[in-house]
Structure 1
């Protein structure tokens, strides 16, 4: 993660300027999503750090375990006809995309180990992230509370 943000890109949108989306995420308080479903996720850590991300893909909605995480983001994203999800940051991108069938997905991004004081500028903050995705349709629609925010 670089500059306290990472990106999830599953749609090759034309004309999308990620710095503008980052500004919107900062204004909104936690994350921003583009019209095509690409996302910018913010973290309280501002310096470059190696970051563990577990990725899980399911065929149906999963049992929520929100109490085990400091922050949980719920959104809908789109994987375009290329069938690739890229996880990247402001200064680097993943070497290989995750291969996912094209379509609309519910995406749940969970983070823990976030330190909001004392280690904001650490290059080894110890946070862990999990991304869970499943097809988005009326049968899997769930009501979630708004995520926690920080500034």
Structure 2
């Protein structure tokens, strides 16, 4: 599990190759949440800046269109969590059962130093 950040974009790579039914819950917050980290296999923290369009786009490699989420222009912290990841048991499954949550809140550079450590997939 990796997140790559460039030019305000965050690309999350999930090593399960046929995950066509991956569900992602998105929650817009007004302040940091950082709840439930212990129950997740992967937790990734990234920061992005949205321009004057004020739009966050959610898409996948297999989707035919983006899902727009309206947000105010500015910098945002994005926490992406995943659990239920299975690779050895279901390498070719199209519905491996993983669960994803993305929480977005206004970034505060001073607060980021106190965030809990990220959890990476081994």
The TM-score with structure 1 as length reference comes to 0.71
2:62 is matched with 91
Higher helix share: 1
> Which of 39-48 and 86-95 deviates more?
86-95
Q: Deviations over 1:76-110 (max 9, x none)?
A: 11222111111112232445401111110111000
The separation in 1 between residues aligned to 2:20 and 2:101, in whole angstroms, is: 16
SS of equivalent residue, structure 2 residue 105: strand
2:105 is matched with 134
CA offset at residue 57 of structure 1?
0.9
Where does structure 2 lack aligned partners over 5 or more consecutive residues? none
2:71 equivalent to 1:100:
yes
- Map 1:27-66 onto structure 2 (within 5 A): 30-34=2-6, 36-66=7-37
2:79 equivalent to 1:73:
no
The separation in 2 between residues aligned to 1:115 and 1:46, in whole angstroms, is: 11
Aligned residues: 121
Where does structure 1 lack aligned partners over 5 or more consecutive residues? 1-28
Could you say which structure has the greater relative contact order, defined with CA pairs below 8 angstroms and 6 or more residues apart? 2
Pick the aligned partner of 2:87 from 116, 138, 143: 116
